[in-house]
Amino acid sequence: MAKEKLRVLLVEDNPIDAMIVKKILQRDNAFEYEVVHLVSGEDALLKLENWPYDIMLLDYNLPKKNGLETLKEIKARNIEMPIVMITGQGDEQLAVTLIKEGAFDYLPKKENYQDSVPLMIRKTMMEFRAKLEREKLQKEIALKKEELEKTNAKLMELDRMKSDFVANVAHELKTPLTIIKGNLDNINQGFAGEVRLKQKEILGDVFKIINRLSRLVNDLLDLSKIESGKMELNREGLDIVALAGEVIKTFETLADGKKIGLAKEFPEKAVTVNADKDKLTQVFINLIGNAVKFTDKGSVTVRIIELQGEVQVEIQDTGPGIPQDQADKIFDKFARVVAEKKEGTGLGLPIAKDIIALHKGRIRVESQSGKGSRFIFIMPK
């Protein structure tokens, strides 16, 4: 295999030292050296104007323009090349100064120092190339970071536009839905004439659709408030045990109709939390409502456990459960993980998660396909 060619610029005013360095490099097998010998810093600067070199060996003690002055001028011209300074023996302070000014390394000019030149060149070239590779990688990372930041800014702007659009559409739908529902209610009560049985059945189906649309609109409005940071909490000290009991009562008829149990395991005393009653009620409605809706046999259990400085709430059901690979998606917006045929907006759980987060709490689900689910949220008192 052919050896790599390395162009070396040797700046040394002592011809004997220069000759020894050349001979030693000729015997070295690491590279095929092309050595150009110059005797002054001025000559080196002129040479570098027209011809690039891989490495420079620069003696400090040069006539007229010394090694430090030459080094500074080379760096001022932004010439990318490792420079090894050859310094007087024992002049460590000067070596430190040279390194600070841009020398890549230094080699003390002691007896037989020339024998160390090949090793110094190999070491310097390896470290210099590694440095160039690091700098290239850092530039690529910086460029990618900039691109990602720009992309993220665009996505955030698109997300804001989406949220604004959803909020505007929801607001536009809310008023006409309210009017339609009010007028249909008047018709249903007979204010526009006698309503026959078949007409009542049709009106009942229409009410179901309108109520479903109203829930969707309300969920969209809640979601837009949360995403825009406009949802505010009206905190108060409230008994979470009593609140959960009130919500459970609203689902008793539905549970009885499905012939499933609706149990509660509560502490005997009140458990007070500092929370927004309406928002916390919404969380209970979403979680208990889902549990009852997706459970066709067995039971739903609501459990409250008082902890040190916190309260843990569990809603456990014997429904179909959630496949393990889909459990992480359950709190995603518009996700429909289980029982796609069930009615719903797909927003209940994400909204519940966000409300709990606003209260500085946390929520998770434990579930297995075919073995039911247990939703757990923990809130500070």
In a 3-state reduction of DSSP, which class is residue 280? helix
Contact between residue 21 and residue 12 where contact means Cβ atoms under 8 Å apart: yes
Q: Is 83 in the same domain as 171?
A: no
Q: Is 194 in the same domain as 289?
A: no
Q: Is 213 in the same domain as 240?
A: no
Per the rule left: phi > 0, alpha: psi between -120 and 50, beta: everything else, 78 is left
Residue 132 lies in a domain: no
Residue 372 CB neighbours (<10 A):
22
Residue 28 lies in a domain: yes
Asked which of 111, 139, 171 is the last residue of a domain, the reply is 111
In a 3-state reduction of DSSP, which class is residue 305? strand
Distances (CA, A) of 284 to 172, 248, 264: 28, 8, 13
Greater pLDDT, 204 or 221: 204
Mean pLDDT, the chain, integer: 87
Per-residue model confidence as pLDDT tens digits over 33-88: 999 999 999 999 999 988 889 999 999 989 888 989 999 999 999 888 999 999 87
Pairing of strands 55-59, 362-367: unpaired
Q: What is the CATH number of the domain that holds 242?
A: 3.30.565.10
Burial, 51: exposed, middle or buried (Cβ in 10 Å; 0-12, 13-18, 19+)? exposed
**Per-residue pLDDT band at 334 (split at 50, 70, 90):** low
**Per-residue pLDDT band at 339 (split at 50, 70, 90):** very low
Per-residue model confidence as pLDDT tens digits over 128-163: 999 999 999 999 999 999 999 999 988 888 877 777
Residue 307 CB neighbours (<10 A):
12
Q: Is 268 in the same domain as 365?
A: yes
Domain range for 93 is: 5-111
Q: Is 217 in the same domain as 350?
A: no
Q: Is 205 in the same domain as 239?
A: no
Asked which of 80, 111, 142 is the last residue of a domain, the reply is 111
Q: What is the CATH number of the domain that holds 216?
A: 1.10.287
* Residues sharing a CB contact under 8 Å with residue 174, sequence separation 6 or more, in sequence order: 214, 217, 221
Q: Is 250 in the same domain as 363?
A: yes
| Strands, E assignment, the chain | 5-11, 32-38, 55-59, 83-88, 105-109, 235-239, 261-265, 272-276, 299-306, 310-317, 362-367, 373-380
Distance, CA of 336 to CA of 328 (rounded, Å): 12
Distance, CA of 6 to CA of 9 (rounded, Å): 10
Closest by CA position to 92, among listed 105, 104, 108: 108
Residue 143 lies in a domain: no
Contact between residue 181 and residue 210 where contact means Cβ atoms under 8 Å apart: yes
Q: What is the CATH number of the domain that holds 75?
A: 3.40.50.2300
**Per-residue pLDDT band at 340 (split at 50, 70, 90):** very low
Report the number of distinct structural domains present in the chain.
Answer: 3
Distance, CA of 195 to CA of 180 (rounded, Å): 17
In a 3-state reduction of DSSP, which class is residue 64? coil
Residue 62 lies in a domain: yes
Q: Note the Cα 94 to chain centre separation in Å.
A: 48
Residue 279 lies in a domain: yes
Residue 82 lies in a domain: yes
Q: Is 257 in the same domain as 274?
A: yes
Q: Looking at 190-276, list the stretches that DSSP marks H as alpha helix, in order from N- to C-terminal side.
A: 197-228, 240-250, 252-257
Determine the pLDDT at residue 208: 84
Per-residue model confidence as pLDDT tens digits over 263-318: 999 998 999 999 999 899 999 999 999 999 999 999 999 999 999 999 999 999 99
Asked which of 57, 85, 111 is the last residue of a domain, the reply is 111
Q: Is 370 in the same domain as 243?
A: yes
Residue 180 lies in a domain: yes
Give the rounded percent of residues in the chain with a pLDDT score beyond 90.
51
**Is pLDDT above 80 for 246?**
yes
Residue 301 lies in a domain: yes
**Per-residue pLDDT band at 345 (split at 50, 70, 90):** low
Burial, 73: exposed, middle or buried (Cβ in 10 Å; 0-12, 13-18, 19+)? middle
Closest by CA position to 168, among listed 213, 125, 220: 220
The DSSP annotation for 337-370 comes to -S-TTS---S-HHHHHHHHHHHTT-EEEEEE-TT
Q: Per-residue pLDDT averaged across 247-263, rounded?
A: 92
